[in-house]
Amino acid sequence: MWDDEDQFKTEILNASTLMEFILLGFSGFPHLQWVLFMIFLFMYITILTCNSIIILLVKTDPALQTPMYFFLSNFSFLEICYVTATIPRILLDLYTLKGNISVLACATQMYFVLMLGGTECLLLAAMAYDRYVAICKPLQYYLLMKDKVCLQLVAASWISGIPVEIGQTYQIFSLHFCASNKIDHFFCDIPPLLKLACGDTFVNTVAVYVVAVVFVMIPFLVIIVSYVKIICNIMKLSSAKGMAKAFSTCSSHLIVVVLFYGTASITYLQPKPRKSEGMGKLLSLFYTIFIPALNPIIYTLRNKDITMALRKLQNKLLTW
């Protein structure tokens, strides 16, 4: 009995004096550290460059001064912020071969990843609503999607998650971490941190599910409803060319939605016993890094307006 009590006191003492965590990241592949460093560096530079070009095109080309491209430029800026919350830390750990991160830095990283992820869900829902109005109510499009409305939708997407994620991050880091200080992940995420906590984490787990439902499932349902109505409207079109154009307008956004929501929902809504550590890392890599790297390619290759604006910009640069 006394041994158990002493062990409990030791655990509480360790938890109260915990000053840092260790991100294990990709330490299981010691011979690939520099290869991984170069891959992530290349992906980071690519994401920054491609999304910055999209923002520049939308700002400078008059043909792209529409609500759809306003949302796209905000989405590109969001992607830059989103990957910046994780990749620089990964690069630092791969370069130093250490994963030490202070509790404050870990909490800060978790907050930004969660907040920006929630913003992405809401912004994708706003983009789906924009496509719904454009295809189902074309005559009212510029009335319903005025500059003020677009700004309000974008502002709501960015601001809504701030108080929620501050509360959730505080709740997670109010726990006692006595099992270990080693996080088997490449960034501070909720599932691996909950595994390190001692005591009952039922309330925290329920809170994770509730927030995931609000910021993942509800926007996803909005997107599904929007696209059901869009498809029904497209099927009424008599012109095959009109149908093709309508599908082309929505296809890029739909691909991004499926990729992002698919991996994010599995990560935060799937029961813990069914998901291994390796699978958790792989899914996280998809929605935090790989998909943001693909998004500019998806939007530019399948969008004639963007490619035309890019050619104009290239011609201007060549004539200077």
50-73 pLDDT, tens digit per residue, is: 999 999 999 999 989 999 999 999
Distance between CA atoms of 73 and 164, rounded to whole angstroms? Answer: 25
Q: What global pTM score does this model have? A: 0.88
Phi-psi map region of 108: left, alpha, beta (phi>0 left; psi -120 to 50 alpha): alpha
110-160 pLDDT, tens digit per residue, is: 999 999 999 999 999 999 999 999 989 989 999 999 999 999 999 999 999
pLDDT tier at 251, thresholds 50, 70, 90: confident
Domain count, the chain: 1
Is residue 98 pLDDT above 60, yes or no?
A: yes
Q: What is the CATH number of the domain that holds 69?
A: 1.20.1070.10
Q: What are phi and psi of 128, to 5 degrees?
A: -65, -40
Q: Which residue did the predictor score with more confidence, 151 or 213?
A: 151
pLDDT at 29: 84
C-beta of residue 211 within 8 angstroms of C-beta of residue 47:
no
Domain containing residue 165: 2-319
pLDDT at 50: 92
